[in-house]
């Protein structure tokens, strides 16, 4: 399966849009959340990151498969 650059750019643009909206609307909550994240063990953060990557890959493959058919 070949992923096109257009899909990657769309994903990055969407991520920036969502992150920007969250920071714009809830700056105080983001700051509080960042302080809480700093207290979480590195292993836990690594596991959460791995889960997010796996979910992202599954969603990309699913999106690509559905868009072809």
pLDDT per residue, tens digit, the chain (69 aa), is 566 778 778 889 999 999 999 999 999 999 999 999 999 999 999 999 999 999 988 988 888 788 886
User: 3-state SS string over the chain?
Assistant: CCCCHHHHHHHHHHHHHHHHHHHHHCHHHHHHHHHHHCCCCHHHHHHHHHHHHHHHHHHHHHHHHHHHC
Res 41: pLDDT: 97
Q: Where are the domains of the chain?
A: 1-38, 41-69
């Amino acid at each position: 399966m070949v992923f096109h650059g257009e899909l990657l750019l769309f994903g990055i643009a969407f991520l920036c849009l969502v992150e920007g909206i969250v920071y714009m609307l809830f700056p105080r909550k983001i700051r509080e959340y960042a302080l809480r994240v700093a207290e979480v063990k590195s292993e836990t953060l690594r596991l959460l990151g791995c889960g997010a990557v796996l979910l992202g890959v599954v969603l990309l493959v699913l999106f690509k498969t559905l868009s072809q058919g």
